[in-house]
Structure 1
Amino acid sequence: MPLYEIETNAHIIITWADNEDAAKLVVDDAYPGDDVLRMTKRPRDSWVISKGALGLSTPAIDPCGVARDCLAKSAGDKVHAIRLYRQETGSDLDTARKVIESNMVMGW
């Protein structure tokens, strides 16, 4: 039995069904007020959600350790260290600036 991914205006439903009509009936039964926006027959019979895509697999980051490494790599150049920190952590500019500046004060 194929696996279907069905996106409605309020939900994403993963269900097994014999065909698209049967999959639509599952939605109509469970969420009668929802409109089907997209229905995709999955190529395999299982569903996988990447923890990385959800941001759940990133190990805890020690911001001070990363900041000190970036300051060392940049030879103390604050602007370059901020750039490196953003690349390493994916942080926004303001967060990276605060972390780098606070570690400069502590005498990296």
Structure 2
Amino acid sequence: MPLFEIETDAHIIITWADDESSAQEVVDDAYPEDEVLRVTKRPRDSWVISKGALGLTDRTLDPCMIARDCLSKSAGDKVNAIRLYRMETGCDVDQARRAIESNMVMGW
């Protein structure tokens, strides 16, 4: 069964389907409000997303790793971790708070 890439106005969907019309039906069922912009039959049966193309190859700039490091250094003290995160990244208080709190929820 071929792999299709379907781009809508709100999503990019990767799915297996027998043909293009079946791929369209997948979108119609899952996202009936979306307008299909493009349907492409992929040449292979797998899908790869390059982390380099997304700019995710430099581990020193990963906000989650920095936030977890700050939480570790502060022994879980949220206020101190926010201060450390701001010093490390140069971001404002709201951005630092969101980064620290989201990583606290994930169980740093």
TM-score w.r.t. structure 2 length? Answer: 0.54
Alignment length (residue pairs): 61
Q: Deviations over 1:45-70 (max 9, x none)?
A: 00000000111112427xxxxxxxxx
Measure, in 2, the Cα distance between the counterparts of 1:39 and 1:21.
9
Q: Report deviation, 1:4.
A: 0.3
1:77-92 equivalence runs, <5 A:
none
Measure, in 2, the Cα distance between the counterparts of 1:55 and 1:45.
25
3-state SS in 1 of match to 2:21:
helix
Measure, in 2, the Cα distance between the counterparts of 1:18 and 1:58.
39
1:55-94 equivalence runs, <5 A:
55-60=55-60
3-state SS in 1 of match to 2:29:
helix
Residues 1:33 and 2:26 aligned together = no
The structure having more radius of gyration, on CA atoms, is 1
Residues 1:44 and 2:44 aligned together = yes
Amino acid at match of 2:36: V
> Which consecutive unaligned segments of at least 5 residues does structure 2 have?
62-108
Match of 2:13 in 1: 13
Measure, in 2, the Cα distance between the counterparts of 1:17 and 1:51.
26
Measure, in 1, the Cα distance between the counterparts of 2:28 and 2:59.
41
3-state SS in 1 of match to 2:58:
coil
TM-score w.r.t. structure 1 length? Answer: 0.54
Measure, in 2, the Cα distance between the counterparts of 1:27 and 1:47.
18
Amino acid at match of 1:32: P
Measure, in 2, the Cα distance between the counterparts of 1:44 and 1:27.
21
